[in-house]
């Protein structure tokens, strides 16, 4: 492949600086160029320089930096769909860090959580379970059994157990994580609200709508008492003055799951009321994906209640919002299936078949790790179906699987500084 003028200039500069300044300077340049190329989307260039950095790393290079090089290369492999190569590089990074769990604890956690995500994306749920348990053991060894980081590791384990079809083990992990959050952060902390929402979603998906309703109502009550953490400070100030509506996007997962739990209990009127509230809370442009999820769930609920005309309007609105928001093929396919069901109920079978065929095409287009491209923050709803293929739920989301899930909780803690 022919190099561009810019790439040739970078290679030439690397050679000159290596001659003038030595091997260490060359190594730093390769890392800087790789990082810049990755940020700009030039993955092939980034990959070449990551390989060069790894090849030039001498015995005296700090193990942490060498492990970070392998981690960065793994990330590039994964973005190209090469999951086996990504897994290999991550494991090389762990080997470089050695056996002492306290040495480079934060980097070790980050690499281990990436290994879990790669294993799940490759469909290796048992390998992901092993990594999740190893992650939990490492955090417990470094930080003790009741640290907030342990709760995050337990949430990761619960998500992995859920994907592996082990709801009992997932529930145990969720309940222990909730207990740690309540003990360390207080019953009114937003992490407690999110943990209650995740537990309620799991109970509902397991067919226990009755207990799920109580847990989800508790979680919603906690989250209602705190502002949306994603809201900028200036907007919170204006909301306090009554000049703008306060953002409540952080309530959407709890509202969505509570509506589905009410639906499962046969309380369709309450389910519709909660979904309509969620629709108001998802009015902000940045919540377009969440809004499309609420719309499609409302459409299906209206169809089941016999309000076919209103259901059709909501289903088509969901598809229009999803198109503008560029949501994942899996979610868009779910919306087309709902639209097909609504149109079938109205006797418009030709249009219904078109939507069903479109859903099937989108399902075939979904890449192997497409579900990993959706943000893992719990305020993002749309990666799994709830009970039945029509309602869209957050019960199956892989929470806390990214390295961000640890850095948020551990910022400023002694463990993260190690």
pLDDT digits 0-9 by tens, 343-383: 999 999 999 999 999 988 887 765 433 332 222 222 223 32
Q: Is it the case that residue 324 has pLDDT exceeding 80?
A: yes
Q: Using CB atoms within 10 A of its CB, is residue 195 exposed (0-12), middle (13-18) or buried (19+)?
A: buried
pLDDT digits 0-9 by tens, 183-192: 999 999 999 9
Q: What is the pTM of this model?
A: 0.74
Mean pLDDT of 254-277: 94
* Residue 384 DSSP symbol: E
CA distances from 17 to 77, 330, 349, 355 (A): 28, 48, 69, 59
Confidence of residue 10 (pLDDT cuts 50, 70, 90): low
- Using alpha carbons only, give the angle 206, 341, 284 rounded to the nearest 5 degrees: 75
Q: Is it the case that residue 193 has pLDDT exceeding 90?
A: yes
Percent of the chain whose predicted confidence (pLDDT) is above 90: 42
Rounded distance between C-alpha atoms, residue 377 and residue 143, angstroms: 24
Rounded distance between C-alpha atoms, residue 378 and residue 271, angstroms: 21
């Amino acid at each position: 492949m022919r190099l561009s003028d810019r790439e040739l200039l970078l290679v030439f500069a690397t050679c000159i600086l290596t001659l003038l300044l030595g091997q260490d300077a060359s190594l730093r340049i390769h890392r800087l160029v790789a990082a810049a190329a990755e940020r700009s989307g030039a993955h092939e260039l980034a990959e070449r320089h990551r390989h060069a950095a790894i090849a030039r790393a001498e015995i005296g290079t700090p193990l942490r930096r060498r492990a970070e090089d392998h981690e960065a290369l793994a990330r590039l492999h994964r973005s190209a769909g090469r999951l086996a190569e990504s897994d290999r590089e991550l494991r090389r990074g762990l080997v470089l860090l050695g056996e002492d769990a306290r040495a480079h604890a934060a980097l070790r956690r980050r690499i281990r959580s990436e290994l879990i995500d790669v294993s799940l994306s490759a469909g290796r749920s048992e390998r992901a379970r092993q990594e999740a348990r190893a992650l939990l053991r490492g955090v417990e060894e470094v930080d003790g059994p009741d640290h907030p980081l342990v709760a995050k590791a337990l949430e990761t384990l619960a998500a992995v157990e859920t994907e592996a079809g082990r709801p009992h083990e997932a529930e145990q992990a969720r309940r222990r994580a909730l207990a740690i959050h309540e003990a360390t952060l207080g019953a009114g902390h937003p992490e407690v609200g999110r943990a209650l929402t995740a537990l309620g979603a799991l109970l509902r998906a397991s067919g226990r709508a009755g207990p799920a309703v109580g847990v989800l109502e508790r979680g919603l009550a906690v989250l209602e008492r705190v502002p949306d953490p994603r809201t900028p400070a200036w907007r919170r100030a204006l909301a306090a003055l009554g000049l703008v509506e306060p953002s409540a996007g952080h309530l959407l997962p709890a509202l969505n799951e509570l509506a589905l739990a009410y639906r499962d209990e046969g309380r369709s009127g309450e389910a519709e009321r909660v979904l309509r509230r969620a629709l108001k809370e998802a009015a902000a442009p940045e919540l377009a994906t969440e809004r499309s999820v609420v719309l499609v769930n409302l459409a299906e609920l209206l169809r089941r209640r016999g309000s076919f005309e209103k259901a059709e309007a909501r289903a088509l609105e969901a598809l229009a919002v999803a198109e503008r928001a560029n949501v994942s093929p899996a979610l868009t396919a779910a919306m087309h299936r709902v639209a097909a069901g609504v149109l079938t109920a109205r006797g418009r079978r030709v249009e219904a078949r078109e939507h069903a065929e479109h859903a099937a095409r989108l399902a075939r287009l979904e890449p192997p790790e497409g579900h990993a491209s959706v943000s893992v923050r719990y305020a993002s709803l749309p990666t799994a179906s709830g009970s039945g293929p029509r309602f869209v739920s957050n019960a199956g989301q892989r929470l806390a699987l990214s390295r961000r899930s640890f850095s948020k909780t551990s910022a400023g803690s002694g463990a993260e500084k190690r």
